[in-house]
């Protein structure tokens, strides 16, 4: 192997490398553009977390403004007074709240008196849960209004399939359109035993 051939070889090699690099760069650009288009399609029309939905009636209001929520009240009610969430830890509940669409119900003086949570993909399916109205405000239509308002939220209004589970409030939900399962044999459930401390560790710390 003479110097020339080494030289030529290296020129060849570097020309080849340049071609290969160019090809890779072109491929990268194509991939990137495909990814950008795909992710743009994936993100197009996603609900804006900062958008606050609010309705008012006779001084009462319902709002999705997370900064207005009395989280202590929500946790206290669900963990101590509800019949469905008592087995959960506060960390499990907070994690669930963090990734759901939350509705606060407020009295005319601004105090929170009720709550509802929507678990959803904002397109095909929504599960309504953790609905409550504080005892002294019940039986005046607020629970029905709260449920109806969740169904009307602009990002949920075109969701076709809704589900919920209730032990005694069937009539409240029936008034806004819910009914028994059309074919219960199609549905299955899995009650998984979980270790609350493990879930607690997995909860990300709130920023300081």
Ligand X SMILES: CC(C)(COP(=O)(O)OP(=O)(O)OC[C@H]1O[C@@H](n2cnc3c(N)ncnc32)[C@H](O)[C@@H]1OP(=O)(O)O)[C@@H](O)C(=O)NCCC(=O)NCCS
Dihedral pair phi/psi, residue 162, rounded to 5°: -125, 145
**Residue from 133, 150, 156, 176 that binds ligand X (CB under 6 A)?**
133
- # of chain residues touching ligand X (CB under 6 A): 15
Q: Residue 144 Cβ, how far from ligand X at the closest point, in Å?
A: 3
Euclidean distance between CA atoms 41 and 77, whole angstroms = 40
Q: Between 75 and 203, whose beta carbon lies closer to ligand X?
A: 75
Q: How far apart are CA 205 and CA 208, in angstroms?
A: 8
Binding segment (CB under 6 A) for ligand X, from list 35-43, 53-61, 137-145, 177-185: 137-145
Query: Is residue 169 near ligand X by the rule CB under 6 A?
Result: yes
- 172 scored as a contact of ligand X (CB under 6 A): yes
**Is 140 a residue that touches ligand X (CB under 6 A)?**
yes
Only one of the segments 7-15, 61-69, 163-171, 181-189 lies at the binding site for ligand X (rule: CB under 6 A); that segment is: 163-171
Span interacting with ligand X, options 23-31, 39-47, 128-136, 183-191, rule CB under 6 A: 128-136
- The rounded distance, in Å, linking the Cα atoms of 95 and 25 is 42
What residues between 141 and 160 interact with ligand X by CB under 6 A?
Answer: 141-144
Nearest to ligand X of 68, 175 (CB atom): 175
Q: Does position 37 bind ligand X by CB under 6 A? A: no
Residue 103 touches ligand X, criterion: CB under 6 A: no
Q: Which is nearer to ligand X, 43 or 191 (CB)?
A: 191
Interaction site with ligand X (CB under 6 A)? 82, 131-133, 138-144, 166, 169, 171-172
């Amino acid at each position: 192997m003479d110097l020339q051939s080494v030289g030529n070889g290296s020129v060849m090699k570097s020309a080849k490398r340049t071609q290969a690099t160019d090809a890779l760069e072109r491929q990268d650009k194509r991939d990137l553009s495909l990814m950008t288009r795909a992710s743009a399609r994936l993100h197009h029309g996603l609900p804006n977390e900062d958008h606050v939905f609010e309705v008012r009636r006779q001084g009462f209001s319902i709002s999705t403004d997370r900064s207005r929520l009395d989280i202590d009240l929500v946790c206290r009610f669900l963990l101590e007074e509800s019949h469905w969430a008592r087995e959960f830890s506060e960390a499990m509940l907070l994690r669930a709240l963090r990734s759901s669409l939350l509705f606060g119900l407020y009295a005319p003086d601004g105090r929170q008196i009720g709550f509802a949570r929507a678990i959803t993909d904002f397109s095909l399916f929504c599960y309504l849960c953790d609905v409550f109205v504080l005892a002294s405000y019940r039986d005046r239509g607020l629970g029905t209004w709260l449920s109806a308002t969740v169904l009307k939220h602009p990002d949920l209004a075109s969701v076709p399939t809704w589900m919920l589970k209730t032990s005694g409030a069937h009539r409240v939900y029936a008034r806004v359109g819910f009914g028994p399962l059309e074919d219960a044999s199609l549905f299955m459930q899995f009650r998984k035993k979980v270790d609350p401390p493990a879930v607690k560790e997995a909860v990300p710390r709130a920023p300081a």
